[in-house]
A and B are shown apart, each in its own frame.
Chain A
């Protein structure tokens, strides 16, 4: 077995990813707006050595698909702000990556960057950011700054509808700018900027603080950050991507890209497309891109009982659950076997989406993790003190400090 690291992420959302999961006997639908529920999920993940959890979010009430907004009463509706929830959890659960989803479309890049940076201080080095764009028409109406037509991802991807393609390009272009601004702000204080020099009366050496002077199509940000550089320097940026434009965003700016292969051939095709993007886009993130796969998981004792449990949920919901990611309704052993196949294909991690929470999280931590651990793929650097260390990503040096050193040697 190769020593390629293989990392485990768990994607937390409501009562689980299946729209009928909240009706499972073990679900806690009444607790979804209470922080104890979320803390208990992350404690469970942390104790099993899961590397990170992500927290889903959107800029409005949940709706299925990208079509016109539909108010449904039979699915979980209502969601806590993920960035705030992440900070509450981080103050209580040490030693696990906490990666909230924050959209770049309607938010202020300055607030997002400082919020994630604060999360890195609160968690003492375990913050990440799952970057998302909002292409939903009804979410644009929450701000009233611009109109977004109803998006049809299939038509946009096919490239046959110029307007849709342009919309996708502009949303992801704005996301690239927002990440660029965040990365600059995260570097805008050098690590040793606070000097507390009593003789000169100076708290900081202001030469070690830097304006970021970003000017883009949608916003300009002067800087520096209000927040001193955080323990990781650069929190970990995660981008979920399904097509060319988001692949390009990931290649340019992400630390980890989540992809959604449905078969071995599909995986090869996606890796090929990511390779193509690497030829056309300049990488701005500090280290090589990590590629993770994604899967919805529903785990039971036998393959048959897992399939039956999924069918029962589908029945409750009235239609089969469709996902952008592959749905693995199976035994823990078979789920682990699929993850190992991905690992052998060079994939460095997986973000598992439990179909039912807390049930399938517990099946991951108690049944899947031990199977993987036996193979050695979960070996980690001893006593990692940050998410970057855990993922074996170096702590980036500060771009502004590096520029100064370069110019001094010129």
Chain B
């Protein structure tokens, strides 16, 4: 099998272990979820592995199950922007990407914070734009109220547009700092932003000169047609759910086709599915570890809790090693779980589907829950995992992956020790960062022409 094309280079992101059941806290290697030493270890290890960027989710409210704070998973995390700024101080090359809601922030402030992060990190900032629309999270914010689902993406798009206007409003040469003439800033190099739209009214000058990247790298994670449209127009990276080979190829084909349609180069939008991994010295050992870890990821209480989110009633008397409940879920408008990415919209249908699946496979409650809540994407020897990752990338099922470890903060140490060298040996992954590269450059995104809307001094 020969091809004229040079091998594609793989792009990898390191996801800080999340506040869900896949992060194993009962393991002895698991350390504090909040101490800075954990974040520093995580970031410096990922940088040792030459990852393109590290990725943090956002906490806006603690998750709840049936009206009570969910207590079975890791709980508590830092403010996203603050911890990324701290990590900028202890790393030099790796990108710093945070999830930040366009619903519970204001563009003037957030655009400035992202510009600050880009200055502080010398061009390594990234923003995973998410939309949030529920009153549950709103209870911690000024907006408070529910944002209509239909307005989520229009708000996100307008938020991004205003942010872009702010980022583009200073000329590259606006800062003069000429001590002789006494001109610090050339005022004609600052454009006044004056935006009035359905969601925002923003009038004023941005507070910072252009940062090294001017715009942070934009990441988008939504999977809906609206989300894909937003990514096609505005994103640099898609954080996708389609790590499976066939689904990955279909998604890749769809998104890159959308790029063709709008005349964007195919390499200007990287597709990175989320992936987990389990390593072993032999394939059989990796399989055994996968089985053990999946049982740590789904404790008996966690298995029951997953069911209770659908059944919306106390199921604690059920044996998790036995069959699923035969009773039907309690259906209320409120539902069982709050603050999660995926909420079950039709509990009766979900319950029926789960019962059928468990019966057909001979699964207990716990085995059923493991089948969807503790799946491991890549299980094998380091060579097997590296080859699988490389195949996905070379055959256009992705441009790389967002890798999540299962313990905090050491979950990716082993990946860096054992898988990264295999990828490097195959010539498909960097052996070092380019000197002074911005995140945009590290990701291999095509250069963008100057975006400044303000006049240059010479113009």
- Could you tell me which A residues sit within 8 Å of B by CB distance? 20, 22-25, 27, 29-30, 33-35, 39, 59-61, 69, 71-81, 83-92, 106-108, 110-111, 114-115, 117-119, 121-122, 124, 138-139, 141-145, 189, 194, 196, 198, 200-206, 209, 218-224, 226-228, 316
Contact = CB atoms under 8 A, between A and B. Distances in A.
Interface string B196-239: 00001111111111000000000000000000000000000000
Greatest chain B CB density within 10 A among A106, A111, A218 is at A111
Most chain B beta-carbon contacts within 10 A, residue among A88, A119, A198, A200: A88
B42 interface: no
A181 to B, nearest CB: 10
Given A61-B204, A122-B82, A201 B34 contact: no
Contacts of B302: 201
A138 B87 CA distance: 33
B89 A92 contact: yes
14 contacts: A22-B177, A69-B204, A77-B184, A83-B81, A83-B82, A87-B86, A91-B89, A106-B106, A141-B201, A143-B108, A144-B200, A194-B75, A224-B62, A228-B76
B207 A61 contact: yes
A122 B200 contact: no
A77 B184 CA distance: 7
Interface stretch (B5-13, B112-120, B328-336, B443-451): B112-120
Contacts of A139: 204
B205 A71 contact: yes
Max chain A C-beta neighbours (<10 A), residue from B62, B113, B300: B62
Name, among A87, A138, A222, the residue most crowded by chain B CB atoms within 10 Å (CB to CB). A87
A142 B119 contact: no
Nearest to B108: A142
B109 interface: yes
Interface string B70-98: 01111111110111011111100000000
Interface in B176-193: 176-177, 179, 182-187, 190
Contacts of A81: 112-113, 116
B423 interface: no
B275 interface: no
Contacts of A86: 85
B35 interface: yes
Interface residues of B, number: 73
B88 A60 contact: no
Contacts of A121: 34-36, 78
B88 A222 contact: no
B90 A79 contact: no
A80 B82 contact: no
A118 B83 contact: yes
A89 B89 contact: yes
Contact of A79 (B35, B122, B207): B207
B243 interface: no
B186 A73 contact: yes
Given A209-B62, A224-B62, A141 B71 contact: no
Given A23-B179, A141-B204, A119 B82 contact: yes
Nearest to A143: B106
A79 B88 CA distance: 18
B76 A194 contact: yes
Nearest to A83: B82
B207 A72 contact: no
Given A84-B82, A122-B36, A206-B68, 17 more contacts: A60-B204, A60-B205, A77-B185, A78-B207, A111-B105, A118-B82, A121-B34, A141-B204, A201-B300, A202-B72, A202-B301, A203-B74, A203-B75, A222-B140, A227-B78, A228-B33, A316-B182
Given A71-B190, A74-B182, A85 B207 contact: no
Contact of A203 (B73, B79, B81): B73
B247 interface: no
Nearest to B74: A203
Contacts of B204: 60-61, 69, 138-139, 141-142
Contacts of B300: 201
B370 to A, nearest CB: 15
A192 to B, nearest CB: 13
B109 A107 contact: yes
Contacts of B68: 206
Contact of A91 (B36, B72, B179): B36
A201 B207 contact: no
**Smallest CB-CB A-B distances: 7 pairs:** A144-B201, A201-B301, A226-B59, A91-B89, A118-B82, A84-B85, A222-B139
Contacts of B120: 35, 80, 84-85, 88
Contacts of B75: 194, 203-204, 209
B79 A142 contact: no
